[in-house]
Structure 1
Amino acid sequence: MRKESLLIELGTEELPPKALKSLAIAFKDGIQDGLHDAELSFEDLTWYASPRRLAVKVTQLVSRQEDKVVEKRGPAIAAAFDDSGNPTKAAEGWARSNGITVADAERLTTDKGEWLLFKANVEGQPIESLLPDIVATALKKLPIPKPMRWGAKTTQFIRPAHTFTMMYGNEIISGSVLDINSAATIRGHRFHGDGEFTLTHADDYLQSLESQFVIADYAARKQQIIEQLAKAAEAEGGVVETDNELLEEVTSLVEWPVVLTASFDEDFLEVPKEALIYTMKDDQKYFPLLSKDGELMPRFLFVSNIDSKDKSQVISGNEKVIRPRLADARFFFETDRKETLESRLSSLETVLFQKQLGTLKDKSDRISALAGQIAELMGTNTAEAKRAGLLCKTDLMTNMVMEFPDVQGVMGMHYARHDGEPEAVATALDEQYKPRFAGDSLPSAGTSSAVALADKLDTLVGIFGIGQLPKGDKDPFALRRAAIGVLRIIVENKLELDLLDLVSRSATLFGGKLTNQDTSDQVVDFILARFRPFYQEKGIDVDVIQAVEAKRPTKPADFAARIEGVSSFKSMESASALAAANKRVANILQKNGISEAGKIDTALFEQDEERQLFSALEDVEKTVRPMLDAGNYEEALKAMSCLRDSIDAFFDNVMVMANDDAIKKNRLALLFTLRRLFLHTADISLLN
């Protein structure tokens, strides 16, 4: 059977840059699903994308489906014929639907009975008849929130479409999507290319477009930008201030990337670099340059979509564009410094945090009080924590943050320093939002940690307290992120803080504003539930997490220590047998309704195995008690592993459910003591 490369391209007006990659991948997935559903085999499938096109290339695609035999089972023989052996109406109707008579049907015999059977030879269809529907279906499934119409057409897409190509080898496959007929016409670069050119073979797609100044391979285009940026930065003696999100957006904005270097007046460097960087990156899609020691240089890089003959004109134009934006930032900075952060406290009363929970001033007062309490528990400066908590939202009322919301916190830090606030207070105003995202750094000092915890807990307790729990993927107050932040700060800093205590303290500060009677338990459970995805990302087995969850330790640092201990224990040779024994003990105790310790009477022991297990338990408990008190669960579980032989001998030789009720209860009490010892760390009966 013939096998060739297939090229599918939809040429459009400039697609939304932040959606380009997701659109291209979704288009590729839709084509792939369609080919699989149509049972068309191929070797590989790749997506391409640039601002004016979505494309998919399929290699070694078969030219048609394989012929196949389709079996259609009919009524059971008992239902297909009456007592006289004549076909029933059900059998005749089934036969007619398949274009045969009942007499033509075959028989299918299995161990469950016998049925009528029709075998149909289905001839495979060529890709010419299948591809148009596959492509149309893939386009309909694209994640397009707001489709648009253009011209006099009634069709809709995310942007106006102009060309459509389905080329199999060197042949055009006829068909149409969005009222555009398939043709070999491809559009090159809007300015450098020939406008339109004719593609001669599917395998020539990338090379043909490159000759028209279009790099259609998204990954290759992104890599070119990275390399050009690095080269330009090296030439300036600096490094690029970049991030992947900006790189992705710029890659989606250009078809022929050309990195150029521009500059701005050094006077602008008086403004905090964060504000300037935000202005350059977010507003203009520029790449700031930093010196080797991390200071902002009065230079920036930008990616042009044209290779101009007079690059100085392009550079000059971009310098003119950035100048007023930087001037705005300087004006805001200079104006804001005329008022202290403390003087802005009253303005927080004009902004609602949440209508049932009060204003930002109310929230700041609560954060201040809670941060002070947390600082005291941590043994850090209480006064500084309270001061930082009080001022933590004041920079939201500055001109700079109102204009550039992403610099909240960091501008508070700079303004606090200008106001003469203690450095710990200034740093806390910036670090209150940490960690902002997965993998982000944590607050660097005690005061910062206290404020960050207080802020996140206040939001969690407040929103849960008015019954607005997150549902599904809806989480408008980012409560999941706040919960994970709380865990990370406590766990990674090894803070001896109890969630029950922290949540109770926070709830008290709301006075009578909270209406949910289960607030404390719900918030604690919600935070603890974040441990599962948190540890699964680290490769910890689910059963290990479940074993610790069963104990519901409300001190996150203690929870983490138990996870570490149980994870280590699970890798030991004796772990499987001890887990099985704990499971057996748990089942016995549950069936007999034993939920509290009974007194063990050694005089009732009848067998040596009972005495040996009791003696081993006494010795081990003396050994592990200091370990458990110190939170050294890993060593405690290792010490408990020596009980394996005594436990095995007990179950091999002792009948727990003895006829004598006193002896039975004594043996159940012994098992309860064993179970309780392991439960000090986790429920290891849940380990697989």
Structure 2
Amino acid sequence: MNKDNLLIELGTEELPPKALRALRDSFKSGIQAGLESAELSFGSIDAYATPRRLAVLVNQVETEQQDKVVEKRGPAVNVAFDDAGNPTKAAEGWARSNGITVDQAERLKTDKGEWLLHKATVKGQSLKQLAQGFIESAIKTLPIPKPMRWGDSTAQFIRPVHTLTVMLGDELIDAEVLETKSARFIQGHRFHSKQGFELDHVDNYLSNLRAAKVIANFEERIDIIQSEVTRLANELGGRVIQDDDLVEEVAALVEWPVALTASFDKGFLDVPKEPLIVTMKDDQRYFPVEDGNGQLLPQFIFITNIESRDPQQIIHGNEKVIRPRLADAQFFFESDKKQSLESRVAKLDSVLFQKQLGSIGDKARRIAELAGKIASLLKADAQAAERAGLLCKADLVSDMVSEFPETQGVMGKHYALNDGETARVAEAIEQHYWPRFSGDHLPESKEACAVALADKLDTLVGIFGIGQVPKGDRDPFALRRAALGLLRTLVERDLPLDLNELLSASAEGFGDKLSNQTVKADVFDFLLGRFRPWYQEQGISVDVIQAVLARSPSKPVDFDRRVKAVEAFKSLDSAESLAAANKRVGNILAKSKESIDGKVQPNLLNEAPEKALYQLLDETEQTVKPLIQDGNYTDALTQLSNLKEPVDEFFEHVMVNAEQDDIRLNRLNLLYRLRQLFLEIADISLLQ
């Protein structure tokens, strides 16, 4: 079977940078699915993407499908022929549809009977015949939320398509996709190679593009940008503020990355660095540089798509562009400092949080009250927490945050320090939004934790309290993120707070605004439900999580200790046997109609195995209960694992459902006591 290299390239106008990787990967998957569906084998498949192209290069693909023999079963023999042995109409119709006569049919014999059979050879199609079909299918699966039309074309794509190249080795494949016919012409760099080039062979695609100042490999452009930016930052005596998303976006904006350094007036450094960084990165896609102490330097690095003979002109142009943006930030900062954060709290009353729950000002007052209570529980500075809670949303009505929303919280900190608030209050204002995303850092001080917890609790209880629970992908108030942030703060900061107490305190702050009577139970269940995906990301199996969830521990720190203990227990040799025994005990007790209270009468223990189990269980309880009280579940379960042998012996030699009522009840109480001891930690019967 002949094999060759296949190239498929769509040449377009500039594609959306943030979608480029997804488009590339989807295009590759679609082409691969088409080849696999056509049963055309290939060696490997590489995908390329630049701002002006999506391409797939398939190495050593079969150029033609293999012929296939297709078996087509006909009617049963007893139906295909009448009593005289003549073909029936059913048989003749089937034969005719297959282009044969009845006497040319073969027979298929099975245990269930005999049928007419026709083996048809289906000739394989060539890759040239199939290409257009699977290219069209691949395009249809691309993640394009809003396709567009261009010119007088009826075709729709994410951006106008200018070229299509479908080649097998040195041969052009005749195809037409999105009203564009396949041709050898490949777009070069928009400025350095306006004329493009004619591709003579697939194997020359990447080298010809490079000669036309296009680096087709997305990852290579990322590597170049990271390397060049790091090199230039070192030359400036600083380091780049790491941002992988920015690097990727810039790599999706250029085909020939060239890194340059520019500077700005040192006077702008009087402004907090955060809004300066935001305007450089988000507005201009620049790379800010800081020194070893984390102080911003008055230089930045940027990537241009042109290898200029006079780079100073490009540098000057970018310096000219950034100056008014930095000047805006400077103006907002100086203007905002003229009003205190406290004076802005009243303005929050005109900013709606949620129409049934009131304004942001109402929310801030609830946060303040709840943060004070939480801080008291943590033996922290309740007054500082309450003050930070009251002020934590005030920067939302500042000019700076209105212009640069990403700086909320951090600008609150700077304005608080400017107003003479304590560092503890200022830091809590900034950190009450933490963690902002998965893996983000957590609030540091107990006061900051108190405000962060109060904010998240207020949102969860408030929104659940008016019946607006998340459904499917819809979560407009980011309740899932708030829940996970709350749990992470409690667990990773080792804060021994009870969720039920926190939810009750939060609900009280709403007065009569909440219509959902089961709000506390609903939020509690929602929070426990977030443990499952969190622990699964850490590699903990679902059955371990379910074993702890079955006991519904209300302190997340305690929940975490139980999960880790059960995970360790599961690896013990005795775990499987004890899990099975717990399941068996649970089933026995569930079926029993006796009044079971766990009180065992030693004088009714007749069999040696039940006496041995009772004695070891009694000793184990004395050791384990103090460990459980201290939250040392790992050692407790290790001690409980010693019960494996007497439990196994009991079930092998003792009849639980004895005929004598008192003996049967005594044995059930013994098993109940055993089961309850395990249940004080988790329901290990759920372990697989």
Query: Which TM-score band applies after superposition, normalised by the shorter structure?
Result: over 0.9
Deviation at 1:346?
Answer: 1.0
Structure 1 residue 439 corresponds to structure 2 residue 439:
yes
Residue 619 of structure 2 corresponds to 619
Q: Take 1:518 and 1:271, find their aligned partners in 2: how far apart are those partners?
A: 48
| Aligned partner of residue 488 in structure 2, secondary structure | helix
Please say if residues 658 and 664 of structure 2, whose CA atoms lie closer than 8 Å, have aligned partners that are also in contact: yes
Please say if residues 196 and 212 of structure 2, whose CA atoms lie closer than 8 Å, have aligned partners that are also in contact: no
Normalising by structure 2, what TM-score? 0.98
Q: 1:597 to 1:82 in 2, by over 3 A?
A: farther
Q: Take 1:368 and 1:97, find their aligned partners in 2: how far apart are those partners?
A: 81
| Aligned partner of residue 530 in structure 1, secondary structure | helix
Please say if residues 596 and 665 of structure 2, whose CA atoms lie closer than 8 Å, have aligned partners that are also in contact: no
Residue 69 of structure 2 corresponds to 69
Q: Take 1:48 and 1:250, find their aligned partners in 2: how far apart are those partners?
A: 16
Please say if residues 7 and 58 of structure 2, whose CA atoms lie closer than 8 Å, have aligned partners that are also in contact: yes
Structure 2's unaligned 5+ residue stretches are none
- 1:310-335 CA distance string (max 9 Å, x none): 01000000000000000000000000
Aligned residue identity for 1:646: P
Normalising by structure 1, what TM-score? 0.98
Aligned residue identity for 1:477: F
| Aligned partner of residue 667 in structure 1, secondary structure | helix
Residue 657 of structure 1 corresponds to 657
Aligned residue identity for 2:492: E
Aligned residue identity for 2:537: E
Aligned residue identity for 2:155: T
Deviation at 1:674?
Answer: 0.6
Please say if residues 596 and 668 of structure 2, whose CA atoms lie closer than 8 Å, have aligned partners that are also in contact: no
Q: Take 1:367 and 1:425, find their aligned partners in 2: how far apart are those partners?
A: 14
Please say if residues 242 and 288 of structure 1, whose CA atoms lie closer than 8 Å, have aligned partners that are also in contact: no
Residue 383 of structure 2 corresponds to 383
Q: Take 2:574 and 2:177, find their aligned partners in 1: how far apart are those partners?
A: 64
| Aligned partner of residue 222 in structure 1, secondary structure | helix
Q: 1:664 to 1:64 in 2, by over 3 A?
A: same
Q: Take 1:594 and 1:628, find their aligned partners in 2: how far apart are those partners?
A: 29
Residue 404 of structure 1 corresponds to 404
Structure 1 residue 418 corresponds to structure 2 residue 411:
no
Residue 237 of structure 2 corresponds to 237
Aligned residue identity for 2:340: T
Q: Take 2:85 and 2:499, find their aligned partners in 1: how far apart are those partners?
A: 77
Q: Take 1:55 and 1:614, find their aligned partners in 2: how far apart are those partners?
A: 72
- 1:59-114 CA distance string (max 9 Å, x none): 01000111111122334445545566555554444333322344333333333444
| Aligned partner of residue 19 in structure 1, secondary structure | helix
Please say if residues 395 and 412 of structure 1, whose CA atoms lie closer than 8 Å, have aligned partners that are also in contact: yes
Q: Take 2:595 and 2:35, find their aligned partners in 1: how far apart are those partners?
A: 59
| Aligned partner of residue 118 in structure 2, secondary structure | strand
Please say if residues 71 and 119 of structure 1, whose CA atoms lie closer than 8 Å, have aligned partners that are also in contact: yes
Q: Take 2:676 and 2:65, find their aligned partners in 1: how far apart are those partners?
A: 64
Deviates more, 1:66-75 or 1:567-576: 66-75
Residue 469 of structure 2 corresponds to 469
Residue 248 of structure 1 corresponds to 248
Superposition pairs for residues 595-610 of structure 1, below 5 Å? 596-610=596-610
Deviation at 1:135?
Answer: 0.5
Residue 313 of structure 1 corresponds to 313
Q: 1:595 to 1:413 in 2, by over 3 A?
A: farther
Superposed CA RMSD in Å reads 1.4
Residue 60 of structure 1 corresponds to 60
Q: 1:595 to 1:200 in 2, by over 3 A?
A: farther
Please say if residues 466 and 516 of structure 2, whose CA atoms lie closer than 8 Å, have aligned partners that are also in contact: yes
Aligned residue identity for 2:566: V
Residue 508 of structure 2 corresponds to 508
Residue 12 of structure 2 corresponds to 12
Q: Take 2:360 and 2:595, find their aligned partners in 1: how far apart are those partners?
A: 48
Structure 1's unaligned 5+ residue stretches are none
Residue 483 of structure 1 corresponds to 483
- 1:423-453 CA distance string (max 9 Å, x none): 1110011111111111111001111100111
Q: Take 1:297 and 1:193, find their aligned partners in 2: how far apart are those partners?
A: 36
Deviation at 1:156?
Answer: 1.2
Q: Take 1:465 and 1:524, find their aligned partners in 2: how far apart are those partners?
A: 12
- 1:12-60 CA distance string (max 9 Å, x none): 1111111111111111111111111111110111110000000001001
Please say if residues 432 and 451 of structure 1, whose CA atoms lie closer than 8 Å, have aligned partners that are also in contact: yes
Superposition pairs for residues 2-41 of structure 1, below 5 Å? 2-41=2-41
Residue 226 of structure 2 corresponds to 226
Residue 139 of structure 1 corresponds to 139
Identical positions, percent: 59
- 1:548-578 CA distance string (max 9 Å, x none): 1111111100000001111111111111111
Please say if residues 594 and 665 of structure 2, whose CA atoms lie closer than 8 Å, have aligned partners that are also in contact: no
Q: Take 1:547 and 1:84, find their aligned partners in 2: how far apart are those partners?
A: 71
Q: Take 2:662 and 2:86, find their aligned partners in 1: how far apart are those partners?
A: 75
Q: Take 1:595 and 1:429, find their aligned partners in 2: how far apart are those partners?
A: 56
Residue 302 of structure 1 corresponds to 302
Residue 48 of structure 2 corresponds to 48
Please say if residues 392 and 409 of structure 1, whose CA atoms lie closer than 8 Å, have aligned partners that are also in contact: yes
Q: How many residues align structurally?
A: 688
Residue 642 of structure 1 corresponds to 642
Residue 328 of structure 2 corresponds to 328
Residue 568 of structure 1 corresponds to 568
Q: 1:661 to 1:274 in 2, by over 3 A?
A: same
Q: 1:204 to 1:338 in 2, by over 3 A?
A: same
Deviation at 1:546?
Answer: 1.1
Residue 257 of structure 1 corresponds to 257
